[in-house]
Structure 1
Amino acid sequence: MLVADLMTSQLRCLRETDSLADAVAAMQELFIRHIPVVDEAGRLAGLVTQRDLLSLEHKKDPTTPLRDIMRSDVATVSPDTPLRAAAETMIYNKYGCLPVVEAGGLVGIITETDFLKLAIFPIAPKRGD
């Protein structure tokens, strides 16, 4: 299996000019823990995580732009990366997610939750059964 088989491709992204408050609101609204930050061209510029926001929430002004607080040294994978390689990268580096980039553009994200779904759903009964 490849990253493309498991990644989430319908993403909620924010811009570098969006604020810390925007990121907090998006995470709460969508029940997510990672938000890719894109530049004007839609290329991955960085990543904001729930852990980052929790550590900054009372130290930074809520209007602080994401470009000032995002992680910009983000490891990425491509859609054709084997799942095992992506999982090993996440485990060994203690990453909660990896943005998926192809031809310079952000095309998805793969998270710990995606791997958990892969492990559970093939054996768990479907809801309503």
Structure 2
Amino acid sequence: MDSIRLVRDYMRKKDLSFDVRDDVADIAATLVEHELSGAPVLGAGGVVLGFVSEQDCIKEMLNTAFHCELTATAADIMRPEVLTVDANMEISVLAEQMCGDKPKMYPVIEEGKLVGLITRPDVLRALVAGAADCR
């Protein structure tokens, strides 16, 4: 792999995000529709405030589905500690991080704001492209 591959070259540009006021049922439906395991929760100006996953939605919906009282929002279920990556990070560095028990998806940040998402399949695509360059 001769050329340096950056996260920005393989990320999904501003793919999907939620507002802190979004309803959990709507969040769950959107994740299912887009076949994503989670997405960042944004505040004013595109600043990442948290992350909401399928698992977070399942827990909340399981607790309330039988009572038909889905009133929780993203703010109620999001995890405020979010691991993010910089758009200019080298793919190889992120790939090494992903070898451990790290998230399957990272919000990509540039100048403090969300610019995209990068997933394990995106990183694998970059590594496959790099391996092809070696042949």
TM-score interval for Structure 1 and Structure 2 normalised by the shorter chain: 0.7 to 0.9
In 1, Cα distance between equivalents of 2:70 and 2:126: 36
In 2, Cα distance between equivalents of 1:96 and 1:56: 21
Structure 1 stretches of 4+ with a deviation exceeding 4 A read 119-123
SS in 2 for 1:63: coil
**5+ residue gaps, structure 1:** 124-129
Report the CA distance between 1:98 and its aligned residue: 1.0
**Aligned with residue 36 of structure 1, among 31, 36, 40:** 40
In 1, Cα distance between equivalents of 2:102 and 2:53: 13
RMSD of the alignment, in Å?
Answer: 2.2
Larger Rg: 2
Identity of aligned residues (%): 31
The match for 1:46 is: 50
Higher relative contact order (CA 8 A, sep 6+): 2
The match for 1:127 is: none
The match for 1:110 is: 118
Query: What TM-score, normalized to structure 1?
Result: 0.83
Q: Which structure has greater helix proportion?
A: 2
Query: What TM-score, normalized to structure 2?
Result: 0.80
**5+ residue gaps, structure 2:** none
Q: Given the alignment of the two structures, is residue 27 of structure 1 paired with residue 1 of structure 2, yes or no?
A: no
